[in-house]
Chain A
Amino acid sequence: MGFQLDIVTPEKQLFSGEVDSVLLPGAEGELGILPRHAPLLTALTIGELVARRGEEELLFAIHGGFAQVLPDRVIVLADMGERAEEVDAARAEQARREAEELLKKEPPPEARAEALMALRKAQLRLKVARRQRPHRPPEEHS
Chain B
Amino acid sequence: METLREIRRRIRSVQNLAQMTRAMEAVSASKVQKAQAAVLATRPYAHRAWEVIVNLSGVRGIPLHPLLTVREPVRSVMMVVFTSDRGLCGAYNHNVVRAATDYARRLGVPVRYVAVGKRGRNILWRLRAPLVAQFSGLPAVPRLADITAIARLAIDEFLSGEVDAVLLAYTDFINLLRQRPVVKRLLPLRPTRLDEQAVSEYVVDMKPARVTDYIYEPSPEALLEVVLPRFIELQVYQAALEAAASEHAARRAAMRNATDNAEELIRDLTILRNKARQHAITKELLDIAGGAEALRQLQGEMVL
Partner-B contacts on A (CB < 8 A): 6, 8-13, 26-28, 38-43, 65-66, 68, 70, 75, 77, 79
Residue in chain B with minimal CB distance to A79: B230
Q: Count contacts between A and B, CB distance < 8 Å.
A: 74
Q: A11-B38, A43-B218, A65-B226 are in contact. List 6 more A-B contacts (CB 8 A).
A: A10-B45, A13-B44, A26-B217, A40-B214, A77-B45, A77-B227
How large, as a class, is the contact surface on chain B? 20 to 34
A66 touches B215 (CB 8 A): no
For A42, the chain B residues whose CB sits under 8 A away are 216-217, 223
For the complex of A and B, 3 pairs with smallest distance between CB atoms: A42-B217, A12-B41, A8-B45
Contact among A26, A38, A43, A77 for B48, CB-based, below 8 A: A77
B213 touches A39 (CB 8 A): yes
A40 touches B223 (CB 8 A): no
24 A-B pairs with C-beta separation under 8 A:
A9-B45, A10-B42, A10-B144, A11-B41, A11-B143, A12-B41, A13-B44, A13-B45, A28-B217, A38-B215, A39-B213, A39-B214, A39-B215, A40-B216, A41-B55, A43-B222, A43-B226, A66-B52, A66-B223, A66-B226, A66-B227, A68-B48, A70-B210, A77-B49
Residues 129-179 of B contacting A (Cβ, < 8 Å): 143-144
Partner-A contacts on B (CB < 8 A): 38, 41-42, 44-46, 48-49, 51-52, 55-56, 143-144, 210, 212-218, 220, 222-223, 226-227, 230, 233-234, 237
